[in-house]
Structure 1
Amino acid sequence: MTPRSTSEPVRVAAVDLGATSGRVMACRVGSRTLHLEELHRFSNGGVPVRGGLFWDVLGIHREVLTGVREVARTGRLHGIGIDSWAVDYGLVGRDGWLLGNPRSHRDSRTDGVPARVREVVSDAELYDVTGLQQLPFNTIYQLVSELGTPSLEAAEQLLLLPDLLTYWLTGEAGAERTNASTTGLYDVRTGEWSLELAKRIGLPWGILPPLRDPGTVVGPVVDEVAAYVGAPGVPVISVGSHDTASAVVGVPAGEESFAYISSGTWSLVGLELDGPVLSAEAREADFTNETGVDGTIRFLKNVMGLWVLSESVRTWADKRLADVTLPALLAGAADAPALRTVVDINDPRLLTPGDMPSRIQELAREAGEPIPRTPVAITRTILDSLALAYRRNVRLAATLAGRDVDVVHVVGGGSQNDLLCQLTADALGVPVLAGPGEAAALGNGLVQARALGADLPDLAAMRALIRRTHDVRRFEPASGSAASADWDAAERRAAKV
């Protein structure tokens, strides 16, 4: 790597991969500069084949190379970092080749698998080691579903999605800790793989790769990548490769006690702590402890998120209904009756693709709630139910961790949804600070910049730079006891679901 003055601005490629789309951003970081420019965007999504749901990972790799090449074409390139969604992986054979297309976490192959694991390791034992919310698509359950298959038996290494792409860029295999901590095979106390847990479940523990920290310089790009992107010797840097870890770096928090909501396809609702919360109460509440940047713990709950709304919009568009663009729906929902219908937005039936509006109506029917009949009414039901879930889980996280919450930071795509941000402030009774929308890419770029010599010694310095360079919007909660009473009543209704 070419030596570089620490006072020189850093320009890196921040690759931010989502389950529905991916982006490659040029991120420029200086002592008073933090600028993002989107240079490449592409569609992503699971590909259904013979009853399975797969990722087109070679296509994703091609798009990553295309985007990095554009960053290099338009200016100096100092580094590359990749963040993505968690839990999904590719299996690599002894010869270094991928053994098959990675499956999507929305694939149905893990149906019934958690119960099989529970016969060997109890929920309490599993939580005491991993600290994880036991979601059916966690990596541990995906691997158990593969036991006895030729692919798993031939595997030399398991590489989580951002680590697989990093491997193709550099030839270096490993597992970045923030993403490894989402697998269900990582000991949250020691910060290492739990080989004992893997052995008990019968998994081939030897496929778990060496761990590395965020900010590790993995290595320079291999020759074929250098030739394609036009940037020989550029290093690839391990960032907070779980996109939520990067997004939490990008929370522009000051000294106030804050909760965060990383709002996108999923909503990840939680606190940043110094250590895990592994109490029986936290396990029963299904909270997760994931490793963050600089040894922090992301104590959070996965809430279904805006996936439910985007899938509803897709369903309406397929039916060629009029006035079902997202702006039109949000405008109508803002004028719709508040809290008329609330449903359990985390119901497992909302996890998979399909006719989401019909599912929302069915959940309302089962709960004895008024059934929303129109796209606008269904949109309002989704947003009210999300805000109610945010209220419940922020308050519960604070209670479990023994923390106060003075303000809630909403980052990610959902920070641009004014109605949801206002509803969240109203529901929680504390201010909501919305933005930046590109928190994950900012966190990605900042961790790279620090690894390359920028004067960003800690998270506080990174967040101070974000506050100096990016505006956030403040939403004050509705005042008065009547507003609070309405949310209290809605929560009591939801508790009966």
Structure 2
Amino acid sequence: MTGTMPTAPAAPAGRGAVAAFAAADLGASSGRVVVGRVGHMELALTEVARFPNAPLRLPDGLHWNVPALYEAVLAGLRAAGPVASVGIDTWAVDYALLDADGALLGLPFHYRDTRTAQVAPRVRDEIGADALYAVNGLQHLPFNTVFQLAAARGSAALAAARTLLLVPDLLAHWLGGTLGAETTNASTTGLLDARTGTWSAALARRIGLDTSVLPPLREPGTPAGTLLPHVAAATGLPAATAVTTVASHDTASAVAAVPATGPGAAYISCGTWSLAGLELDAPVLTEASRAANFTNERGIDGTVRYLRNIMGMWLLEECRRTWAAQGRPVELPALLAEAERAAPFAALIDPDAPELLAPEDMPAAIAAACVRTGQRPPRSRGALVRCVLESLALAHRRVLRLAAELSGRDITRVHLVGGGSRNALLCQLTANATGLPVIAGPAEATAIGNVLVQARTRGLVGDLADMRRLVAATQELRHYAPGGDSRAWDAAQARLFPRGAALP
């Protein structure tokens, strides 16, 4: 693989040097701005702003309110104070279109919008699932950018577009004025060649996309300009403050911060989604990998994130949202305590069932899934949460075992990072299900990865292994040893995923 992280022209920092960096980390339900201080054996984060990220339902579909997110980022940078540079990471696949004057052509669609539901299978059938995978190496997800663009074919916005920018690239452009497509996020579009790491003009043409709208690719660590004058005025930061291209796909930033200091490590980046897999040197593009619906996405330094998306804490958070809307709010610790007392394996669901992608009422959707599979729905909130967490643990087990088999790698331990690492019950259930020790943390892996890439451009940290050693030495990690009855987990696995059942 090619594409090591470039280094900014600054001289290496001295052993006692410390610098502050601002990470704007935007997730599917909230965003925040974090300041990270990095020096020799020092890595400390301070959250200076947090804000909601609520989708907008407009007449033509579900959208992201990116102007509001941009304003929230500016407010966060005002609160951050002086920093050496700013980096942006967000979720993947969603894009914005700019016209010839650089003006935004409408709000970006939300990946949970349903307009691709019928388009994705048609495109897959027209091009061929095997042909698509041979080029882009991506698991089939109906919201992949390639399918979103196929759905937009013939639209006025796409006809008028002169530039396509993924969401973090758009925000970086608004801050620093430069145009580019960061490679870790570009690899989620379905338009990047998994072998060469370059845009696939052939695939773009197959969906009718004018390749001239695709911006030049750039690696994590590449300078992305300095703050535009009006941005400097709005934030109170010097105009010379650098904007740095980080691993702008939030999962890529999170994986960069996995504190793995030796071979045999698997990872689960657990938030709205659980992204479970391995870090490899080259993509796995076999037919078996395609049939198992594994994805090959780029990481920093030319690495490959070989993984599968699993519906993650979205399931639990949507249950809580529904209960709160019904006037029955409940705090997470109380829910988890109820779940720990609930009977094990009473009901199990496939976390990736299509009906769980965006239901109006998640508890009702889970109950319906149980009825459909011949199970009695959970009768209490604790039992429902137990159902969700055991099902997620089983999905983690299945995906990691398949990743090991398909890649020919052995797994000796699991690093679980992100917000889900705070959920002690999920961590323990994952250790029990996989039969492997789980190292939980850091919870702030995405922001840490963002900050460390910025710090690396300033010479404050070394290579990827050095970055991970710093995380392991400075961040709180919790260890969970596998326990329980392994035969019970085997039986639950066979019940939830019968032998020979295909991964969706």
Q: Same fold (TM over 0.5)?
A: yes
Distance in 2 separating the partners of 1:286 and 1:103: 24
Give, as a single letter, the amino acid of the residue that structure 1 aligns with 2:49: H
Residue among 108, 111, 118 paired with 1:105: 111
Partner of 2:3: none
Matched, 1:25 2:25: no
Matched, 1:358 2:371: no
Displacement of 1:115 in angstroms is 2.1
CA contact (8 A) 1:260 1:271 kept: yes
Residue among 14, 18, 24 paired with 1:9: 18
What is the CA deviation profile of residues 391-423 of structure 1, one whole-angstrom value per residue up to 9, with x for unaligned ones?
Answer: 000101011001111110000000000000000
Partner of 1:259: 266
SS where residue 289 of structure 2 aligns? helix
What is the CA deviation profile of residues 79-113 of structure 1, one whole-angstrom value per residue up to 9, with x for unaligned ones?
Answer: 00001000001000000010100110001111111
Distance in 1 separating the partners of 2:405 and 2:468: 25
What is the CA deviation profile of residues 2-52 of structure 1, one whole-angstrom value per residue up to 9, with x for unaligned ones?
Answer: 967612212110111001000100001101100000000001121112251
CA contact (8 A) 2:342 2:382 kept: yes
Partner of 1:473: 478
Displacement of 1:353 in angstroms is 4.1
- Give structure 1 regions of 4+ aligned residues with deviation exceeding 3 angstroms: 1-5
Distance in 1 separating the partners of 2:79 and 2:314: 30
TM-score by structure 2 length?
0.95
Partner of 2:67: 58
CA contact (8 A) 1:120 1:201 kept: no
Residue among 317, 339, 342 paired with 2:345: 339
Give, as a single letter, the amino acid of the residue that structure 1 aligns with 2:340: A
Residue among 146, 151, 161 paired with 2:152: 146
What is the CA deviation profile of residues 164-198 of structure 1, one whole-angstrom value per residue up to 9, with x for unaligned ones?
Answer: 00010111111000000000100010000001111
Q: How many pairs were matched up?
A: 489
Gaps of at least 5 residues in structure 2 are 1-7
Residue among 163, 182, 197 paired with 2:169: 163
SS where residue 122 of structure 2 aligns? helix
TM-score by structure 1 length?
0.96
CA contact (8 A) 1:79 1:234 kept: yes
Matched, 1:377 2:383: yes
SS where residue 477 of structure 1 aligns? coil
Give, as a single letter, the amino acid of the residue that structure 2 aligns with 1:399: E
Displacement of 1:372 in angstroms is 0.8
Partner of 1:408: 414
What is the CA deviation profile of residues 120-178 of structure 1, one whole-angstrom value per residue up to 9, with x for unaligned ones?
Answer: 31000000000001100000111111111110000001000000000101111110000
Distance in 2 separating the partners of 1:369 and 1:388: 17
Residue among 218, 227, 243 paired with 2:224: 218
Alpha-carbon distance change, 319 to 197 in structure 1, aligned in 2, over 3 angstroms: same
CA contact (8 A) 2:10 2:459 kept: no
Distance in 1 separating the partners of 2:457 and 2:50: 26
Give, as a single letter, the amino acid of the residue that structure 2 aligns with 1:263: C
Distance in 2 separating the partners of 1:5 and 1:407: 34
Alpha-carbon distance change, 191 to 3 in structure 1, aligned in 2, over 3 angstroms: closer
Displacement of 1:223 in angstroms is 0.8
SS where residue 193 of structure 1 aligns? coil
Distance in 1 separating the partners of 2:68 and 2:91: 16
Distance in 2 separating the partners of 1:470 and 1:311: 29
Partner of 1:228: 234
CA contact (8 A) 1:410 1:433 kept: yes
Distance in 2 separating the partners of 1:362 and 1:422: 27
SS where residue 240 of structure 2 aligns? coil
Give, as a single letter, the amino acid of the residue that structure 2 aligns with 1:439: A
Gaps of at least 5 residues in structure 1 are none
Displacement of 1:325 in angstroms is 2.2
Give, as a single letter, the amino acid of the residue that structure 2 aligns with 1:320: G
Distance in 2 separating the partners of 1:26 and 1:321: 36
Matched, 1:425 2:434: no
Distance in 2 separating the partners of 1:433 and 1:346: 25
Distance in 2 separating the partners of 1:51 and 1:303: 28
CA contact (8 A) 2:359 2:365 kept: no
SS where residue 365 of structure 1 aligns? helix
Q: Which moved more, 1:34-43 or 1:248-257?
A: 248-257
Residue among 486, 493, 499 paired with 1:491: 493
What is the CA deviation profile of residues 420-442 of structure 1, one whole-angstrom value per residue up to 9, with x for unaligned ones?
Answer: 00000000001000000000000
CA contact (8 A) 2:12 2:458 kept: no
Distance in 2 separating the partners of 1:187 and 1:353: 34
Distance in 1 separating the partners of 2:495 and 2:210: 46
Displacement of 1:371 in angstroms is 1.6
SS where residue 278 of structure 2 aligns? strand
CA contact (8 A) 2:89 2:450 kept: yes
Report sequence identity in percent: 52
SS where residue 179 of structure 2 aligns? coil
Give, as a single letter, the amino acid of the residue that structure 1 aligns with 2:256: V
Displacement of 1:343 in angstroms is 1.0
Displacement of 1:201 in angstroms is 2.0
Matched, 1:36 2:45: yes
What is the CA deviation profile of residues 279-317 of structure 1, one whole-angstrom value per residue up to 9, with x for unaligned ones?
Answer: 101100000000001100000000000101100111111
Distance in 2 separating the partners of 1:337 and 1:459: 43
Partner of 1:80: 86
Matches within 5 A, 1:101-140: 101-140=107-146
SS where residue 186 of structure 1 aligns? coil
Give, as a single letter, the amino acid of the residue that structure 1 aligns with 2:480: F
Matched, 1:275 2:282: yes
Residue among 274, 277, 293 paired with 1:286: 293
Distance in 2 separating the partners of 1:365 and 1:437: 35
SS where residue 139 of structure 2 aligns? coil
Q: Which moved more, 1:150-159 or 1:370-379?
A: 370-379
Partner of 1:462: 467
SS where residue 342 of structure 2 aligns? coil
Partner of 2:195: 189
Residue among 308, 320, 323 paired with 1:313: 320
Alpha-carbon distance change, 2 to 40 in structure 1, aligned in 2, over 3 angstroms: farther
